[in-house]
Structure formats: structure tokens, C-alpha cells
Structure 1
Amino acid sequence: MLFNFFKDYQSELIISAILLISLLIIRFIIHFTITKVARNTGINEARIRLIRRYITVTIFLFAVLIESFIFGTEFKEIAVVFSSIFAVIGIGLFAIWSILSNITSGIIMFFNFPYKVGDKIAIHDKDFPITAIIEDIRAFQLHLRIENGDLVTYPNNLMLQKAVTLVEKDAIDDVIDDDSEAV
């Protein structure tokens, strides 16, 4: 029974193995490149892992799609499955669009964001202006420490929509130095 399976699907299994090896090599190259670029620009390790996880999931979904074609699934059948899945996901994601916009903003900020952890910034919001030190940049929000010591979480999508000014670079080092001198 098992031997018949390998005999009947020999070419598909060989193509699948080649696909798997190719995608693993591509994943390794992309992860290496992201890590190298991120470390050269001073991005912290948690954000690097997050973006690498996004890349891995994307490659996995791409592999599942290609595998279905390799094993003989027709485009029409895949289109029905994916349109059904996307309809359900679309309805669900419409309810949580702000989460998606924050994740997308987090990815954009990973590759193109002039501020780093430790920088003191001013967010020019007419309703809630903030001057704070960036403590952490996460998938959904930034953690900002304001002058009175309170922690403010600020959504990533608003960070890209508001005007932001760099007040002081690496201000967190100054705060740490002030705390150590006080002891």
C-alpha cells in the first residue's frame, strides 16, 4: 500500500522535495538578510524575530499553494477554496481592521522608521501631544515612557499618520545614567 503510494506519486514527491529545499534556502537567505540589515540599523532582536516569523508564515502559505498544484489540484478548485476562506477571513478582518493596520504599520516601521528604541520623540497630535522616550517597538504599538514615568502605548498606525519630531537621540541612556548617579 505504502509502496504503491510512492510509486504512483514518485515525480510529485521529487518535485515537492525540490520545492521544500528551495523554499528553505530562500527562507534562510531572507532571514539572514533581514537580520543583517536590522542589526546594522540598530533594530532590536524582538522586532527581528517578529518580521522573520511573518516571512516564514508567508513562505509556508506559498508552499501549500504550490504543493496543491503539484499534486494535481485544478485552479478552479483552489479558487473556490480560497474565495471561501478569504470571504470568511474578510468578514472577520473587517471587524478587526485596526489590528491589521497596526501590524502593517509595524512591518513598514521595521524597514523604514527613522526612530529607534531609546530616542526621545515628540508626537504632534492636537488632542493628545506626547513627548516621550521610545522604550519598545512592538507589532501593534510603541511603548513610550513620558516624563512623569508613566508608560503610554501608542498604536503603530497613528505613529505613521502623525507628525513626529526627534527631540533627543538615545535619550534612554541619559535616563539610565541619571538613575545610576542617583544611587
Structure 2
Amino acid sequence: MTFFKDYTNEIIISGIVLIVLMILRVISTKVVHSYAKRSHKIEYRTNLVIKYLHLLINILSFIALIIIWGVQAKDIVLAVSGAATVVGVAMVAQWSILSNITSGVILFFSFPFKIGDSIRIHDKDFPIVGEIEDITAFHIVLNTEEGEQVIYPNNLLFQKGISIINNHYEDKEFMD
């Protein structure tokens, strides 16, 4: 019982933060779905952006809870900078992962092609023509006329010219 007496304020504020977290997650989901519906984005890409937003909201809520429970801001900064250093060193070798994720988000908002479109990637050494089967955070999946399945990184899509040959995508009613 002394725990609840000693930490009443922290418990109440933590409850408020968790309620705000849930509200922000619901609002962000509705805003992204609304944007996707207005701009006719496919649902898979919409869900990807929602996941990114929820991750950001969760991280900010976690930091708020840490501060509420008495961890000093300078300790948080020290821990985050140490973790960022370790992640930064590890990511030097894996920069393409971040590049592909960033490219995936840009593709979501610019939306130059859709699943079902046939595209030609203008690569001097290895040109590719295929139909887009899937678009993920890291790559697109193409099916070629020869029956091959090609996994093409998102960041390379911004470095090569792309022609949309035809559009097999049928406009359908957007479902939430």
C-alpha cells in the first residue's frame, strides 16, 4: 500500500500519458487513412506509414514515462547518445537499409507506380522489365515475362530511370 501512497502523482500522470498515447494512435491512424483515401493510395503502403507513426508516438510516450518516474533528462540524453553512437557505427556498414526505408516512405508519398503496373528500369548493364507484384519498405518485387521474380531495392529506383509501360491496376473502392 505504501507504493500507491508514495507514487500517486506518478501513477496518475502515467495513466494520462497512456490515454493520450492511445488517442494519438487512433487519430494518426484516421488521418493517414483519410489521406490515403483522398489520394487513392493502396492500403499496404498506408499501413506501413501508420506503423512508422505509431513507432514514433510509442518512443515519445516511453521517454515521457521515463521522465515522469524520475529519470533525469541528462541521463536520458547520455543513454540515447550512447545508443545512437553504437547504432551509428553499426549502420555505417548498413546504410542501404536506412536508404531503402527512406525511399519506401518517399515512394508512399510520391506514388509514381502501383502494384500491377508494368515498368521498365533503365539500367545500362541490367535493364529490367516486369510487373510489380509487391511494394515493401525495403524493395519492390517484379515478375518478368521470363517468369523470374526480381527483388529490386527501393533506393535504386531513385537512381535509375523508370518507365511505366501500362497500368493493370483497376481503381477499386478503398477499404479501411
Tell me the TM-score range normalised by the shorter chain: 0.7 to 0.9
Equivalent positions of 1:38-53 (< 5 A) are 38-53=36-51
Is the contact between residue 122 and residue 165 of structure 1 (CA under 8 Å) also seen in structure 2? yes
Q: 2:84 aligns with which of 83, 86, 91?
A: 86
**Alignment-derived partner of residue 58 in structure 1:** 56
- Larger proportion of helix: 1
1:97-121 Cα shifts (integer Å, max 9, x gaps): 1112111111121122221001111
Matched, 1:30 2:28: yes
Normalised by the length of structure 1, the TM-score is 0.84
Letter matched to residue 108 of structure 1: I
**Alignment-derived partner of residue 168 in structure 1:** 166
Letter matched to residue 29 of structure 2: H
In structure 2, relative to structure 1, the CA distance for the partners of 1:151 and 1:42 (3 Å cut) is farther
**Alignment-derived partner of residue 151 in structure 2:** 153
Letter matched to residue 117 of structure 2: D
Is the contact between residue 142 and residue 154 of structure 1 (CA under 8 Å) also seen in structure 2? yes
1:64-92 Cα shifts (integer Å, max 9, x gaps): 11111112222211111111111111111
Normalised by the length of structure 2, the TM-score is 0.87
Name which one, 1 or 2, has greater alpha-carbon Rg: 1
| Percentage of matched positions with identical amino acids | 44
What SS does the aligned partner of 1:34 have?
Answer: helix
The size of the alignment, in residue pairs, is 170
Unmatched segments (≥5 aa) in structure 1: 174-183
Q: Partners of 1:161 and 1:15 in 2: how far apart?
A: 48
Q: 2:74 aligns with which of 73, 76, 86?
A: 76
**Alignment-derived partner of residue 12 in structure 2:** 14
Displacement of 1:31: 1.2
**Which has the bigger relative contact order, CA under 8 A and spacing at least 6?**
2
Q: Partners of 2:21 and 2:55 in 1: how far apart?
A: 12
1:39-78 Cα shifts (integer Å, max 9, x gaps): 4544444333333222222211111111111122222111
Q: Partners of 1:52 and 1:139 in 2: how far apart?
A: 12
Q: Partners of 2:129 and 2:86 in 1: how far apart?
A: 41
What SS does the aligned partner of 1:38 have?
Answer: helix
Q: 2:137 aligns with which of 136, 139, 149?
A: 139
**Alignment-derived partner of residue 177 in structure 1:** none
Displacement of 1:138: 1.1
What is the alpha-carbon root mean square deviation over aligned residues?
1.8
Q: 1:127 aligns with which of 125, 128, 145?
A: 125
Q: 1:105 aligns with which of 103, 106, 116?
A: 103
What SS does the aligned partner of 2:125 have?
Answer: coil
Letter matched to residue 14 of structure 2: S
Unmatched segments (≥5 aa) in structure 2: 171-176
Letter matched to residue 119 of structure 2: I
